[in-house]
Amino acid sequence: MKAVKIKKVLQTGATNTSCSVQGWVRTFRANRFVALNDGSTLDNLQCVVDFEALDESLLKQITTGAALHLEGNLVESQGSGQNVELQVEKITLLGASDPEKYPIQPKKHSLEFLREKAHLRVRTATFSSVMRVRSALAFAVHEFFQEEGFFYVNTPIITGSDAEGAGEMFHVSTLDPKNPPLTETGDLDYKSDFFGKETNLTVSGQLEAEAYALGLGDVYTFGPTFRAENSNTTRHLAEFWMIEPEMAFYDLNDNMNLAEKFITSVLKKVLTRCEKDLQFLDDRFNQEEKSKPQLQRSPMGLLEKIKFVVDNDFKRVSYTEAYEILRNSKPNKKKKFQFPITEWGVDLQSEHERFLVEKHFNCPVILFDYPANIKAFYMRRNDDEKTVRAMDILFPGIGEIVGGSQREERLEVLEKRIEEMKIDKEELWWYLDLRRFGSVPHSGFGLGFERLVQFTTGMNNIRDVIPFPRTPQNASF
């Protein structure tokens, strides 16, 4: 008999007809009750076996972690805790699991422990919930942009350009590291490398997305991005997924409006589509918060936080206003900031972002018009000559979730900026062409997908919202 997904079984309810399911044993109690989970939903299906009818060797192999195919009758449950249960008539062992060695026991494991078992952690309630929410978010992202008339474009993963100008890139090469060809001056001779030039993994698809926006109008990318920054924090990955919309004829205000509408739209969708998982994660979040000292606890529960973001406008503040707020703030005056705010133009650290979002405004904040010196070369210069049309969206508990800007569409201004910042102009010839042939005002932003998943699931560490995290000194699995 063809197996049905447990999610469907639980939705359909007791039918007193035969039914078959397959999945992994979460627990086996009293030689009688199998809690089976197939990943389709948070809930397990209670399956009742008649152990007297089983042969001893099969009984022994029903252990936590084993994979079973069960056939039987779907009936109203006798016990409390579930509405239906499967009265098992036939058991097929699909894959045994040594109970002495299987690391995921039916007890609470620490997230750190589970990170080392990343190939098995999805068999826990927490990780399966997070991954279902992640999947629903990804779908909602595509849905949003498709409904808004955007086109999905795939920008290259291997590239010659450094979009962010930050130089934190992974090189891509087929040269023999033991015996690399050298030029006369002793540098690596990239001419004999695979692409005949220096290449790396992309840090952003933006530059190529701009080319496509200036032809298709409104486009978005959603792909992997790589950064070799040595940041061992709860918010940084070396490989992460980024969503980058890019829109022709948009100015910075249009850009901020779209970003806000986008985020609230996807959150709204998962609130209704992932109710069960989010309820579970909300409970989990509240438990975690309880174990923290009073002062460090989140003032809101997880669901409350999501709803708050959906229901309230983001606060829009210029860098200069934010700078004044920070400079005059209590923690700054009492020298509580690790990086004191002393002069206009300093880059904001996460402690400052958190102060603004979590203490001062108490809501998501869009900061705009940043000093040119702390932002990338492609951002549009304001008439004050000091600031650029940049915007960052800051979220409670996360910090920066979006970075974007209106792009510099004026050829001379852009060329000057590239020179000032000592960026290789030759490499950007095609990007400059876009300003030579039908240049128009345009804007875009990048949203770090894992940071969005973090916010939505309440997971504290970014390593716990991507299946197999890549971080400094860690690329297992």
Q: What does the binding site for Mg ion look like in residue numbers (CB under 5 A)?
A: 403
The smaller minimum CB distance to ligand 4AD, of residues 94 and 374, is found at 374
Distance of closest approach, residue 393 Cβ to ligand 4AD, in angstroms? 8
Choices 17-25, 140-148, 414-422, 443-451 (CB under 6 A): range interacting with ligand 4AD: 443-451
Spatial strand order of the sheet with 442-448 comes to 151-152, 218-226, 239-248, 442-448, 399-406, 387-395, 365-371, 315-318
Type of residue numbered 473: Q
Tokens coding 224: 């992997």
Determine contact, residues 451/235, Cβ cutoff 8 Å.
yes
Distance of closest approach, residue 163 Cβ to ligand 4AD, in angstroms? 5
As a 3-state breakdown, the chain gives helix, strand, coil percent values, each rounded to 5, of 35, 25, 40
Distance of closest approach, residue 267 Cβ to ligand 4AD, in angstroms? 15
Determine contact, residues 447/410, Cβ cutoff 8 Å.
no
Question: Is residue 204 at the binding interface for ligand 4AD, with CB under 6 A as the rule?
Answer: yes
Choices 24-32, 61-69, 229-237, 348-356 (CB under 6 A): range interacting with ligand 4AD: 229-237
The smaller minimum CB distance to Mg ion, of residues 403 and 441, is found at 403
Distance CA 88, CA 71 (A): 6
Residue found under tokens 């924090």: 233
Residue 402's binding partner among Mg ion, ligand 4AD, none (Cβ under 5 to 8 angstroms by kind) is: ligand 4AD
Which x/- pattern, by CB under 6 A, does the window 80-119 give for ligand 4AD? Answer: ----------------------------------------
Question: Is residue 406 at the binding interface for ligand 4AD, with CB under 6 A as the rule?
Answer: no
Question: Is residue 242 at the binding interface for ligand 4AD, with CB under 6 A as the rule?
Answer: yes
The smaller minimum CB distance to ligand 4AD, of residues 136 and 391, is found at 391
Q: For ligand 4AD, which residue of 153, 445, 457, 463 counts as binding (CB under 6 A)?
A: 445
The smaller minimum CB distance to ligand 4AD, of residues 306 and 401, is found at 401
Determine the residue with CB nearest Mg ion. Answer: 403
Question: Is residue 244 at the binding interface for ligand 4AD, with CB under 6 A as the rule?
Answer: yes
Choices 82-90, 211-219, 337-345, 438-446 (CB under 6 A): range interacting with ligand 4AD: 438-446
Distance of closest approach, residue 255 Cβ to ligand 4AD, in angstroms? 9
Tokens coding 3: 């197996």
Determine contact, residues 124/114, Cβ cutoff 8 Å.
yes
Torsion of CA 133, 135, 140, 146, to 10 degrees: 180
The 10 Å Cβ neighbour count of residue 240 is: 20
Choices 181-189, 301-309, 397-405, 430-438 (CB under 6 A): range interacting with ligand 4AD: 397-405
Question: Is residue 212 at the binding interface for ligand 4AD, with CB under 6 A as the rule?
Answer: no
| Cα-based distances in Å from 360 to 317, 352, 356, 411 | 12, 10, 5, 40
The 10 Å Cβ neighbour count of residue 28 is: 21
Residue 240's binding partner among ligand 4AD, Mg ion, none (Cβ under 5 to 8 angstroms by kind) is: ligand 4AD
Distance CA 156, CA 205 (A): 7
Q: For ligand 4AD, which residue of 62, 163, 169, 366 counts as binding (CB under 6 A)?
A: 163
The smaller minimum CB distance to ligand 4AD, of residues 5 and 470, is found at 470
Torsion of CA 193, 197, 201, 202, to 10 degrees: -160
Q: For ligand 4AD, which residue of 400, 410, 415, 439 counts as binding (CB under 6 A)?
A: 400
Question: Is residue 401 at the binding interface for ligand 4AD, with CB under 6 A as the rule?
Answer: yes
Best CA proximity match to 100, nearest among 48, 67, 65:
65
Distance CA 109, CA 115 (A): 10
Distance CA 259, CA 390 (A): 13
Tokens coding 475: 């690329």
Q: For ligand 4AD, which residue of 26, 227, 381, 435 counts as binding (CB under 6 A)?
A: 227
Distance of closest approach, residue 113 Cβ to ligand 4AD, in angstroms? 23
Phi and psi angles of residue 218, each rounded to the nearest 5 degrees, phi first: -115, 120
State the DSSP H helix or E strand holding residue 80, giving kind and residue range, or none if neither: none
DSSP tag of 324: H
Pairing between strand 399-406 and 442-448? antiparallel
The binding site for ligand 4AD (CB under 6 A) comprises 163-164, 204, 206, 227, 229, 236-237, 240, 242, 244, 400-404, 444-446, 448, 450-451
